[in-house]
Structure 1
Amino acid sequence: MPDGFITLDKEHNEALGRLVDRDPTANVFIASHLEASRGLSPSYAGGEVIGVFRDGDLVAACWAGVNLVPIGVSEADGAALGTYLGKSGRKFSSIFGPAEAVLAIWSTLREYSPEPFDVRPSQPLLAITGAPRVEPAPGLRFTREDELDVIVPACAAMFEEEVGYSPFTGGGEHYRRRVASLVRRQASLADFDDDGQVIFKAELGTVSSTTVQIQGVWMNPAYRGQGLSASYLAAVVLAAQQRAPVVSLYVNSFNTRALAAYQTVGFREVGTFATVLL
């Protein structure tokens, strides 16, 4: 196998699997795709995996679809990969994953990209195994499709708070279908008040055999500051642990209130992610 960057195929499944298994929590995104697709294939989930080869061995890789997700990429390889991707002329919506790799890719890819919407260089990657340290909220449950008219606005509010613009920009049907897919897969969790409005919601966003990555955590502003977050998060953890033993998430380092809630539940820091929104 020549050195350099090569698009991987099914012949590389075993080598890529070994690479992913070095850090299955950080690499849950690609692990989930590999398990769902039973390996790489020509129609591989709307993207491709670019491998980094040295002395004939696969030493790193990067999922390249709408998003870029590095796997075991060093600072030097990341910078070279950013140039390679930039010269390809492809456009991406985001880069996310281990901070060193993401920021290295962006250090050179930025020369070929528009001004980023946001760069988040420090996002603690947190994980929990075993029982949460607080009692779970009893009302949290998986949502139903007949609740979409209530769930979708809550998801959109979370998205706008997190990203800075509405997911309905350019039309909302695609976003509604995405939320509906989460509901159908029993990946959407919420609790509701007496008026039928969402109090708290979260999603089991990415799931592999070893790890569930929680996404989309949101508390209705009317219920914030009441000390409810930790118990709801504990309930999310218990639901996630029915799918895999490790539950993880990543959060912006400046979000001290969220970090405190996660630590109360029993999450510990296991790495650092970064995100570039394009």
Structure 2
Amino acid sequence: MLMVFPPISRLGGGATRRPGRIRLVPVTERLRPAIAAIVRDEPVRAVHVAARLGRVTPARGPAVFAVVAPDDRPLGAISAVRGFAWVLVPEVREDPDVHFALATFIATRGAENDVVVGQEDEVAGVLEGLELQGVTAREVRAQQMMASTGATEPPVPRAALEMRLARPTDLTWLLDAHAGMCREDLGVDQVARNRSGYAAYFRDLIAGGRVHVGEADAGPVFKAEVALRSPDAWLVEGVYTVPEARGLGFARHGMAHIAARARRDGRLTCLYVHRENERAIAVYRSVGFEHVCRWTTAIIGRERPAAGWFGRRR
């Protein structure tokens, strides 16, 4: 598949027209070394791309596409599995032509409801390009990306806590805990909307040893999932302590434990967190996580035309 995009100046506006076109193409063997080098230079920002580089999905083909300049120079890459995320070389991160090329790719391949994640200013540029094509941001979450790169010993919690990998028998508890997290963070129980889909997701993670559970005397109280593993980083999501077990240091202990496991695996740990969630940010900072960049998660969807004569039931 080859996707070619004209300079944004052809659509009007004040941008200076450039010769040639930006292309998005599958990552070939010729392009792979250059894309791998771009990814290695940005292990945190590029975690989505790095974790999927070389993968092929049965339904949609390559998981990662290269962003290529008119002179055939690789400018970055975009992951097109479970939403869209990309990494760009520094000199084009603010380039409106690149943003528009990414937006057109997303508009062409995205589902009716999809997700875009990335550095705040880059996502803003891509969302502008999407809006020109009838795809709007239905929800924008202001976050920050954080990463733990240094060694921090897990602090001793104020009550006994055993950290372990999740077992298949934990599935029901994990689904209930994740539902509680969604209700608190998003105001809606996303698990109830698609319990079978979430169950399949957690089964895959459990089978891969990517769900960490903290168990106290009364049973599991803490969870976190390694959603993606790249050669250089673990991306952690779904960090949650049940309400009745908060204030005992379980989240600090659990996150330090996970970061230590990642370091033993030769990887750093990263995550994104809502910017207004000061309590969570303080927990992560206390165990060695540092701010990397301002991050955005955007839920996108194509605008539906208002119901006119042709849209009414007769």
TM-score normalized by structure 1? 0.86
* Greater C-alpha Rg: 2
Partner of residue 23, structure 1: 42
Distance 1:9 1:114, change over 3 A: closer
Partner of residue 242, structure 2: 220
Partner of residue 124, structure 1: 144
The yes-or-no answer on 1:79 pairing with 2:88 is no
Partner of residue 59, structure 1: 75
Using the alignment, how far apart are the partners of 2:138 and 2:248 within structure 1? 32
Distance 1:207 1:154, change over 3 A: same
Distance 1:144 1:132, change over 3 A: same
Partner of residue 187, structure 1: 210
CA contact (8 A) 1:126 1:249 kept: yes
CA contact (8 A) 1:48 1:64 kept: yes
The yes-or-no answer on 1:103 pairing with 2:121 is no
1:251 match: secondary structure: strand
Distance 1:225 1:87, change over 3 A: closer
- Which among 168, 177, 184 is matched to residue 145 of structure 1? 168
With 254-263 and 69-78 compared, the bigger mean Cα shift is at 69-78
Percentage of pairs with the same residue: 23
Distance 1:83 1:157, change over 3 A: same
Using the alignment, how far apart are the partners of 1:253 and 1:96 within structure 2? 15
- 5+ residue gaps, structure 1, are none
Partner of residue 225, structure 2: 203
Using the alignment, how far apart are the partners of 1:104 and 1:20 within structure 2? 21
Using the alignment, how far apart are the partners of 2:154 and 2:218 within structure 1? 27
Q: Which amino acid aligns with 1:167?
A: Q
Deviations 1:172-203 (A, max 9, x none): 1111010111111111111234333x311111
Deviations 1:95-141 (A, max 9, x none): 002222212111221344555342024x2221122321552555111
- Which among 217, 235, 255 is matched to residue 257 of structure 2? 235
Partner of residue 167, structure 1: 190
Task: Compute the displacement of 1:215 (Å).
Answer: 1.1
1:7 match: secondary structure: strand
Residues paired across the two proteins, number: 272
RMSD: 2.7
Using the alignment, how far apart are the partners of 1:257 and 1:20 within structure 2? 31
Q: Which has the higher contact order (CA 8 A, sep 6+)?
A: 1
Q: Which amino acid aligns with 1:70?
A: W
Using the alignment, how far apart are the partners of 2:80 and 2:298 within structure 1? 14
Using the alignment, how far apart are the partners of 1:231 and 1:168 within structure 2? 26
Task: Compute the displacement of 1:46 (Å).
Answer: 6.4
| Structure 1 runs of 4+ with >4 Å offset | 40-46
- 5+ residue gaps, structure 2, are 5-19, 301-314
Using the alignment, how far apart are the partners of 2:98 and 2:180 within structure 1? 34
CA contact (8 A) 1:190 1:199 kept: yes
Distance 1:186 1:136, change over 3 A: farther
TM-score normalized by structure 2? 0.77
Task: Compute the displacement of 1:241 (Å).
Answer: 2.4
Task: Compute the displacement of 1:147 (Å).
Answer: 1.8
Deviations 1:199-242 (A, max 9, x none): 11111221122111111100111122344322222122122323
Distance 1:74 1:54, change over 3 A: farther
